[in-house]
């Protein structure tokens, strides 16, 4: 794929798809800060920048763009010719990938740049549709994501994969794809509860996916590369062996012995890939995730790639980005890319550039 640096942008209107899906805006927003060099690059070369983003809360609300614009103008972009489009998801045509909506967006630019890797697993109008009407490029941040994550498709060994979070359905393709490539894979988060149950271990009232137990037994139960927690937190203060969990308890996080074991595995690995938190972050059970992040940040010879919204949010608070080889902006996009080697947004850019080349 040709990236933005191959485009002539002086005097052009450049429509940049970003992911500024932050609400409310915090004083420190790495998701925004990582894209600023792209915007400043365009402004410095005489482009007129048009920014397009979506904002959608966990309960499905689509706030207006004005608070974000005020924040950006005050803190990051006090000058420069930048136009902000209204929240894309206020239009039903965005998620429906309406060609009419894509045309309306395309009219606003002479060139399209995708700098929103984190939503490029969605075949939305602003990701896929616009590329049919404008010369299209990937931005530097997008290209950095593809380059770093592509290494995981042919990793150096020993290779440790860490998968957390809750939904088995979002992780099964990654597990199937990577099991032949990894030396070890650790399962954490609520996902681990379901794996433990599939192995006949009592998980009490813990969050599980009953529908996933059959598939886990079929595809993964006998695989010796898979490591499960052997101690867990059933409360913020109480850590115990998984075999001591009663039918009345809930598992909220992996325990300290498990974190120490993981840290030792990582020390001997050349490559570590981690997606998803180890515990129930929303409920305040982030102790093990933080401890493992601290331990991984100390590694000097191991390439560590981290992704997944909740995990990265904890990392943001700890301000440890610079200690890792790569911190992905994508959660679902990262998983889909690793499982399939591409994304709808990547395929759309490639197709657009083939059309440009033929002309």
pLDDT tens, residue by residue, 209-221: 999 999 999 989 8
Domains 4-139+342-358 and 154-340 fall in the same CATH topology: yes
68-77, 140-149, 271-280: which range is least confident on average?
Answer: 68-77
| Cβ-proximal residues to 55 (8 Å cutoff; 6+ apart), any chain | 20, 21, 22, 23, 62, 63, 65, 68, 87, 89
Specify the 3-state DSSP secondary structure of 194. Answer: helix
State residue 80's pLDDT score.
Answer: 64
Q: Is the pLDDT of residue 25 over 90?
A: no
Work out the average pLDDT over 188-195: 95
pLDDT tens digits for 317-326?
998 988 999 9
Mean pLDDT across the chain = 93
Confidence of residue 303 (pLDDT cuts 50, 70, 90): very high
Q: Considering the domain 154-340, what is its CATH architecture? A: 3-Layer(aba) Sandwich (3.40)
Domain ranges of the chain: 4-139+342-358, 154-340
The burial of 72, by beta-carbon neighbours within 10 Å (0-12 exposed, 13-18 middle, 19 or more buried), is given as buried
| Residue the block writes with tokens 């062996």 | 241
Confidence of residue 359 (pLDDT cuts 50, 70, 90): low
Confidence of residue 310 (pLDDT cuts 50, 70, 90): confident
| Residue the block writes with tokens 């902006």 | 329
Q: Is the pLDDT of residue 167 over 90?
A: no
pLDDT tens digits for 60-84?
999 999 999 998 888 888 666 799 9
Beta bridge partners of 51: 16, 84
Residue 163, CA distances (Å) to 39, 122, 124, 186, 330 in order = 33, 22, 27, 6, 14
| Residue the block writes with tokens 């591409």 | 342
Beta bridge partners of 83: 50
Work out the average pLDDT over 177-186: 95
Q: What percent of the chain has pLDDT over 70?
A: 99
pLDDT tens digits for 34-53?
999 999 999 999 999 999 99
Q: Is the pLDDT of residue 19 over 70?
A: yes
Class of domain 4-139+342-358: alpha beta
Is residue 64 within 8 Å of residue 87, measured between CB atoms? yes
Give exposure, 37-54, as e/b (b: 16+ Cβ within 10 Å). ebbebbbebebbbbbbbb
Is residue 182 within 8 Å of residue 160, measured between CB atoms? yes
């Amino acid at each position: 794929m040709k990236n933005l640096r191959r485009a002539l942008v002086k005097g052009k209107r450049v429509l940049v798809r970003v992911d500024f899906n932050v609400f409310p805006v915090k004083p420190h927003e790495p998701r925004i800060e990582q894209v600023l060099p792209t915007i400043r690059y365009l402004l410095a070369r005489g482009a007129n920048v048009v920014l397009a983003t979506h904002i959608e809360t966990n309960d499905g609300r689509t706030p207006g763009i004005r608070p974000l614009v005020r924040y950006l103008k005050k803190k990051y972009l006090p000058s420069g010719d930048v136009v902000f489009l209204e929240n894309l998801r206020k239009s039903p045509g965005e998620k429906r990938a309406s060609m009419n909506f894509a045309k309306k967006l395309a009219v606003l630019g002479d060139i399209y740049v995708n700098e929103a890797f984190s939503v490029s697993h969605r075949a939305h109008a602003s990701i896929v549709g616009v590329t049919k009407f404008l010369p299209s490029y990937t931005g530097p941040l997008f290209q950095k994501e593809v380059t770093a994550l592509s290494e995981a498709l042919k990793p150096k060994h020993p290779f440790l994969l860490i998968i957390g979070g809750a939904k088995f359905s979002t992780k099964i393709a990654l597990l199937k794809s990577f099991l032949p490539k990894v030396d070890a894979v650790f399962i954490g988060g609520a996902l681990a509860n379901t794996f433990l149950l599939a192995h006949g271990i009592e998980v009490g009232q813990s969050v599980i996916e009953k529908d996933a137990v059959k598939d886990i037994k079929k595809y993964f139960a006998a695989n010796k590369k898979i490591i499960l927690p052997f101690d867990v937190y059933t409360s913020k203060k109480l850590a115990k062996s998984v075999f001591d969990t009663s039918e009345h308890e809930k598992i909220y996080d992996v325990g300290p012995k498990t974190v120490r074991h993981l840290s030792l595995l990582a020390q001997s690995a050349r490559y570590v890939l981690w997606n998803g938190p180890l515990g129930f972050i929303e409920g305040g059970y982030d102790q093990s995730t933080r401890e493992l992040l601290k331990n991984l940040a100390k590694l000097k010879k191991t390439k560590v790639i981290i992704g997944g919204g909740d995990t990265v949010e904890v990392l943001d608070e700890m301000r440890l980005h610079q200690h890792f080889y790569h911190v992905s902006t994508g959660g679902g996009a990262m998983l889909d890319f690793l499982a399939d080697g591409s994304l709808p947004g990547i395929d759309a850019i490639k197709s657009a550039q083939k059309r440009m080349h033929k002309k």
